[in-house]
Amino acid sequence: MTATADTRTKNDIVKIIGLEKIFVSSFNRANIHYAVQPKQDSRSRLVEYLNDKRGQSGIIYTLSRKSAESTSEHLNAHGFSTTAYHAGLGTDVRMQRQEEFIQDRVDIVVATIAFGMGIDKSNVRFVVHMDLPKNIEGYYQETGRAGRDGLPSEALLFFSRGDAITLRGFIDQGSDPKQNQLLYDKLNQMITFGETRKCRRQYLLEYFSESHDGQCDNCDNCLKTFDVFDGTEIAQKVLSAVYRLKESFGANYVIDFLRGSKSKKIREEHTWMKTYGIGQDLGKPMWQAYIRNLVEDDYLRVDGTKFPILKLGSKATAVLFNKQKVSLVKIETIVRKSSSRSDEQLNVKHYDLMSALKDVRRALATKENVPPYVIFSDKTLVELCHYLPASENDLLRINGFGQIKLKRYGPQFLKVVVDYCTAQNLDSNMGSNTKVAKKRSTTTNSKSASKTQLETVKLFQAGLSIPEIARKRE
């Protein structure tokens, strides 16, 4: 069983083990919002991002131990509750810090990828990558530690192509050319994810061979309007440069060539070409953005892995020789709408109440020596804040409350809610809880076993194995 096997890995497993049947469930984590931001001034951007998330649980991944330590110190200096976690710490220290995070005594862990395997903390609200992950599998697995309770959660990546250079350096140290090639391919797919304009959820799911029609309304690209303009002249300049350079150079060289660079890296014979220097009107970042645009729309393609070079794509000929028009995306984008939420994803309006409920949950968890989410998930606390139950019968209509938990924890949580409503002069909102009430009713009515289920139980109790029962009962 695995959560992150791409098609190649899956085929290898099936072939080597000789599996006759495979079962694949959806990779889609619909409650996670995916976003990518430029890495420039990422520390300040991170503080700004976290200011709206104080008190929430999150994981921040960094590439190095030193960065994990310094980022944690930076956030602590800004009043956040964080701790660092990496393989350079002693076993006892790592266990202590992991326990502090699970018990909600620390809000945020800043960690290398050494952290997270086997951590099933349901109320992680965000995962931030300060550096580019090595591959899509790792990124998907790490972001998947957010929102396991089904509530809205976020995955933010600070993206820089400079990180790709560092990661390629790590790959270069490998001695197996075939393995290195595979790692280059996976890294390039991660880079494409960071630069793509398509729905990020669609990109991730298609990577794992699952179809998605895009427009998920819960990633940054789906929440933007991309303004386009007639970029035919720009496209012609780039395509002409690639053509005249005989499709033998990477993007950086092509850009320097277009901008008329005086660098010694530019070959002298190229400085005499007609297209040398015809792109001086645009800066390097803009050329990089437009080239990525042309690659994504198949006017250009990238060939090679360690040293990628630009080649003409399938649409290039029509532009160069048939005057085909090209639309490019303006560098600036405009947010056009907010993230969509399902009916069950309720907004928390009463933050003081939420804080008080978390305190009660933490105290009970400490007393019983279990993680807080074992007492109740964040989803339960969100519903308590939203519906403001006023009686034990009301609590039974709240997600997470059954007869057992009502008896064990109901009075403590109900008292906090009722006291808050009294102090704030608020009425219960349980009248709007029709969906939850219906769900509870359906669940309760389906608890009694059917005759066919009882017959299966009797056969099992009589000593028959499950396959024997299946054959006997057809």
DSSP per residue, 379-431: HHHHHHHHH---SHHHHTTSTT--HHHHHHHHHHHHHHHHHHHHHHT----GG
Q: What is the pTM of this model?
A: 0.72
Give the per-residue pLDDT at 173. Answer: 87
Supply the Cα-derived Rg of the chain in whole angstroms. 28
CA proximity to 273, closest of 251, 246, 296, 304: 246
CA proximity to 163, closest of 42, 56, 269, 284: 42
Give the per-residue pLDDT at 334. Answer: 44
What integer is the mean pLDDT of 416-441? Answer: 74
Give the per-residue pLDDT at 204. Answer: 94
Strands 82-85 and 108-111: parallel
Read off the pLDDT of residues 305-359 as tens digits, 9 standing for 90 and up.
Answer: 567 889 999 999 999 888 889 988 886 544 444 544 443 445 556 778 988 999 9
Check if the beta carbon of residue 155 is closer than 8 Å to that of residue 34.
Answer: yes
What integer is the mean pLDDT of 438-446? Answer: 42
In whole angstroms, give the CA distance from residue 330 to residue 439: 47
Give the per-residue pLDDT at 150. Answer: 87
Residues 6+ apart with CB under 8 A from 250: 307, 308, 309, 310
What integer is the mean pLDDT of 97-125? Answer: 84
Read off the pLDDT of residues 32-90 as tens digits, 9 standing for 90 and up.
Answer: 999 999 898 899 999 999 998 888 999 999 999 999 999 999 999 999 999 999 988 89
Give the per-residue pLDDT at 459. Answer: 83
Q: Is the pLDDT of residue 29 over 90?
A: yes
Give the per-residue pLDDT at 140. Answer: 94
Check if the beta carbon of residue 239 is closer than 8 Å to that of residue 300.
Answer: yes
Read off the pLDDT of residues 149-189 as tens digits, 9 standing for 90 and up.
Answer: 888 999 999 998 888 888 888 888 888 888 888 898 899 89
What is the b/e burial string over 36-70, where b = at least 16 CB atoms within 10 angstroms of the residue's CB?
bbebeebeebbeebbeebeebbbbbbbbebebbbe
What is the pLDDT of the chain when averaged over all its residues? 86
Read off the pLDDT of residues 265-287 as tens digits, 9 standing for 90 and up.
Answer: 899 999 899 889 999 988 888 89
> SS3 of 365, please?
helix
CA 244 to chain centre: 41
The H-or-E segment that residue 203 falls in is helix 200-207
